[in-house]
Structure 1
């Protein structure tokens, strides 16, 4: 398919009534964005999703070029718009070396919406607007999971709004650029291990007094307000011949400064203190009564906190080749600058609680291949394959984001309901290689090591997407 046909506008174009309906449909969905499984989310239109996202050189004709290649909007004829959503049905479990038991994730299905509007001002200049969610995760484990001291219910969502302009420089080359306005929110829920805490006024840890490891005495809930950051998105599209196209795009990083609240809830340990204990309290005193002061007049009171996260840059280049009438093959390479996600600094009002969550992610590559065949009778069939490297190093695979090397299979159908109205459907199967990881934080402030890995994470997902597009 080609989004860059020569066009003229002999008559003013009016906005199709269906485009208004699209906007109204999306509004109630927006707050539900996001917590899509995995940190990178690339399914921003059912057509592109069915092709494995391999669309940089040959974007779909549904306005999703705002994300997949802003330059490909140039040459748009009149109004276009699309609205849709992708349902993410993820699964996962952890098998412990220590207990030999397997615990399953409690993830609920998630919905990630997308919306695109475009208008061709003339045969060279076009403008557009896109709303999409390129990053996000949501992982939920049972509260009694042994990894709850790292995380048992945490999420990050990021919604981008991108106004875009594209211009055809020559008959074969187009450029595009957009401003990305990102809004995001994070939440982290975890248990606190009493054995790792210092005993007030004694100078030793509770572990040194015989408290066993993994003794949960508090639930910490860290929740941010919505943060806003700015970035940019640029693209290049070139039609080398009637059969061969090239595309490239670069999405800049966005730094988000979060402000939020930390709250702490005491959990019962059921432990009583022996006689002649170093705290000087009578034998048989409940340990919970001793630590309760920390929640009322100590460090574990409700308090403000701040943190910062940089959502990484993306670079993608691709080729599109029309092998014969109706059949287009696409191949993309994508690079994600994950090394910017090296550490998350949690800064509390009570500085004694400050913590650095070391991530040490690595830059990662993705290969995408897609195919599209336009059949008779208004139907189009699509398929794709994706391979991506793991971003997290072996020592930092945790319950927070237990990601790894992945293979993906995709497919879908497009149907021209009537002239100018298309309905697209897609299915995406995510297969992640099993990966060893940990359920505990490193001791003290030291770095994590693979020696801390204490089990096997298994993760997979099914995604189903639909997009309705209208051109006028």
Structure 2
């Protein structure tokens, strides 16, 4: 095969989502996830370090800590009725984590630290399946570390923000073509591996409280340029008679993680009922293509993506039953940034709807247990990827869903 057929894909996304490919699932806090992941204008716990760092200034108590983990149980089915092909992924489990802590130095200044995993997934198709020339398996991991400061400008207004230090790794395998194999019949494939990838960004927010019942929030997370320098590319089962340089090599690539803008409000309808609404815009149009420079005679590999900007609409309710129990529910609609003809099986997702719920049990005035669940249903999609280097197209019908329970602890002092 020509080495430009090496198709690195979108793996350095560490990912959606479900928000835009690769299962970047929104699970950055059990309280807010239970409310449809709406939280830019909600003041409840140290989860605010992710949703809107400006809200730290209005948290109760001097010390707030939130810890949590979720289990991502996802399933993707592919079918091409014309070719008589059907298969599913192996249903691998992901475990995104978060840890937030904030400390109020005085009435107008608060500091905090956030550690969370916004991108990360594991997708494994059967080895040598019909789409193996695009992907066999992919495993992505990431950790974001965010020191944060919040300043209360008045009783009605606060600002906050901090830098984001991102650390990630990726391991990805695919076959080099639809049919290429060695003399033993073993399919020729390449594994791409990169670890210790680092990048910088920032997270800033503003919170306006015009009344004791109404909060209005704004949060902006910057674009992050992910640069993989000196990653490893390992070729296996290459036919000895095949011309060209198929020796193991290294590669360099740069990929933008898009900026996000979230605006929203929360309203205390009654003493027991809180309503929250968020609108999120992810600027995926920066992701036009993934260019990979192989550090041997393979040269430059160009892989078009042509993503478009996408929005998410989030709605949540919180009901305080009594001093011990708090109930939550919500849903969100998440647009896919993937355009027709660019649908690849390493990011098998389309527009989706998430249904959420959860509760808090207050053990005492300081410690609480938070639980949440998310059922994520993707719209069935019949689409294809039309830009493989030999000019061929691969497509069919994809059906996918995910169930994501979560558990955590909140502490305040």
Aligned to 2:48: 65
Asked if residue 258 in structure 1 is aligned to residue 228 in structure 2, the reply is yes
- Residue-by-residue CA offset, 1:217-273 (whole Å, 9 max, x unaligned): 411001112211111111000111111110000000111110210001106xxxxxx
Secondary structure of the structure 2 residue equivalent to 1:67: helix
Q: 1:383 is matched with which residue: 310, 315, 329? A: 329
Alignment of 1:299-338 (within 5 A): 299-338=245-284
> Could you tell me how far 1:354 is from its partner in structure 2?
3.3
SS at match of 1:74: helix
- Could you tell me which residue of structure 2 aligns to residue 249 of structure 1? 219
Q: Does 1:434 align with 2:380?
A: yes
Query: Counterpart in 2 of 1:27?
Result: none
8 Å CA contact 1:220–1:265 kept in 2: the answer is yes
TM-score, L = length of structure 1: 0.79
User: 1:135 deviation in Å?
Assistant: 2.5
Is 1:290 aligned to 2:241, yes or no? yes
The equivalent position to 2:199 in structure 1, one of 223, 226, 229, is: 229
Segments of 5+ residues of structure 1 without an aligned counterpart are 1-33, 198-214, 268-287
Richer in helix (by share): 1
Q: Which has the higher contact order (CA 8 A, sep 6+)?
A: 2
More strand by share: 2
Q: Is the 8 A contact 1:149 1:441 kept in 2?
A: no
What is the rounded CA distance, in whole Å, between the counterparts of 1:312 and 1:380 in structure 2?
34
* Aligned partner of 1:88 among 42, 64, 72: 72
Q: Deviations over 1:72-118 (max 9, x none)?
A: 00134211112111110000110014432320011310100100011
8 A Cα contact 1:219 1:266, kept in partner: yes
1:155 is matched with 139
Q: Matches of residues 38-77 of structure 1 in structure 2 within 5 Å?
A: 38=18, 39=22, 40-61=24-45, 63-76=46-59, 77=61
Larger radius of gyration: 1
The residue correspondences of 1:34-183 to structure 2 (distance < 5 A) are 38=18, 39=22, 40-61=24-45, 63-76=46-59, 77-183=61-167
Distance in structure 2 (CA, Å) of the matches to 1:122 and 1:413? 31
CA deviations 1:117-161 (Å, max 9, x no partner) are 110011111001001122234321001211110111113333210
Q: 1:36 to 1:314 in 2, by over 3 A?
A: closer
- Mean alpha-carbon deviation: is it higher for 394-403 or for 342-351? 342-351
The count of aligned residue pairs is 391
1:394 matched to 2:340? The reply is yes
Instruction: Report the alpha carbon displacement of residue 398 of structure 1 after superposing the two structures with TM.
Output: 1.1
Tell me, in whole angstroms, the C-alpha distance in 1 between the residues paired with 2:274 and 2:27. Answer: 20
SS of 2:107's partner is coil
1:454 aligns with 2:405: no
Match of 2:352 in 1: 406
Give the secondary structure class of the aligned counterpart of 1:186: strand
Question: TM-score of the superposition, structure 2-length normalised?
Answer: 0.90
Identify the range of structure 1 (299-308 vs 131-140) with the bigger mean alpha-carbon deviation. Answer: 131-140
